[in-house]
Structure 1
Amino acid sequence: MILVTGGLGMIGAHTAGALADLGEDVLVVARRAADLPSFLSGRVAVETLDLGDRDAFLGLGDRHDIRGIVHLAGSIPGPDPIDFFRHDTAVLLNALDAARTWQVSRFAVASSVSVYEGRQERSWTEDLALPLAELPHAIAAFKKAVEPITMFALAGTGVKPVLLRIGGTWGPLMDAESPFNPIPRTVSALRRGERPAALSEHGDFCYAPDAGRAIALLATADALAHEVYNVSSGIRCTGEQVTDALAAAFPDGSFGPAEGGSEDGDAPHLDIARLRAETGFEPAFDVPDAIAHYVAWRAQYPR
Structure 2
Amino acid sequence: MTVLVTGGAGYIGSHMVLALRDAGEPVVVLDNLSTGFREAVPADVPLVIGDVGDNALLMRTLGQHGIDAVAHFAARIVAPESVRDPLGYYAANTLRTHGLLETLVAANVKRFIFSSTAAVYGMAPPTPTPESAPCDPASPYGASKAMSERILRDVGAAYGMSYVVLRYFNVAGADAAMRAGQRSPAASNLITLAVRAALGIGPKLQIMGTDLPTPDGTGVRDYIHVSDLADAHVAALRHLREDRGSLTLNCGYGHGYSVREVVDAVNRVTGKPLPVVEGPRREGDPYVSIADATLIRAKLGWKPSRDNIDLVVDHALRWERMLRGERMPMIEKRRA
Name the stretch that deviates more: 45-54 or 87-96.
87-96
| Corresponding position of 2:128 | 123
**Once the 2 structures are TM-superposed, how far is the Cα of residue 37 of structure 1 from its aligned partner?**
4.4
Instruction: Please tell me the residue identity of whatever aligns with 1:90.
Output: L
Name the stretch that deviates more: 162-171 or 78-87.
78-87
Question: CA 1:86–1:268 in structure 2 vs 1: closer, same or farther (change >3 Å)?
Answer: closer
Question: CA 1:3–1:195 in structure 2 vs 1: closer, same or farther (change >3 Å)?
Answer: closer
Question: CA 1:94–1:196 in structure 2 vs 1: closer, same or farther (change >3 Å)?
Answer: closer
C-alpha separation in 1, matches of 2:124 and 2:280: 24
SS state at 1:164 partner: strand
**Once the 2 structures are TM-superposed, how far is the Cα of residue 298 of structure 1 from its aligned partner?**
0.8
Percent identical among aligned pairs is 23
Instruction: Please tell me the residue identity of whatever aligns with 1:276.
Output: R
The alignment covers a number of residue pairs equal to: 298
Name the stretch that deviates more: 66-75 or 114-123.
114-123
Tell me the TM-score normalised to structure 2 length.
0.79
Contact 1:70-1:108 at 8 Å conserved across structures = yes
Alignment of 1:199-210 (within 5 A): 200-210=218-228
Alignment of 1:1-303 (within 5 A): 1-32=2-33, 35-37=37-39, 40-75=41-76, 79-130=84-135, 133=136, 135=138, 137-171=139-173, 172-173=181-182, 175-179=184-188, 181-192=189-200, 196-197=205-206, 200-221=218-239, 222-256=242-276, 258-259=278-279, 267-285=288-306, 286-302=308-324
Contact 1:13-1:37 at 8 Å conserved across structures = no
TM-superposition CA deviations, 1:159-204 (whole Å, max 9, x none): 102222111213322534433x222112111111875456833211
SS state at 2:159 partner: coil
TM-superposition CA deviations, 1:207-259 (whole Å, max 9, x none): 21121111221122224454211112322122343222211222134444644
The answer for unaligned runs of 5 or more in structure 2 is 174-180, 209-217, 327-336
C-alpha separation in 1, matches of 2:69 and 2:232: 16
Tell me the TM-score normalised to structure 1 length.
0.86
Question: CA 1:299–1:159 in structure 2 vs 1: closer, same or farther (change >3 Å)?
Answer: same
Question: CA 1:195–1:114 in structure 2 vs 1: closer, same or farther (change >3 Å)?
Answer: closer
Question: CA 1:7–1:256 in structure 2 vs 1: closer, same or farther (change >3 Å)?
Answer: closer
Query: Alignment RMSD, CA only?
Result: 2.9
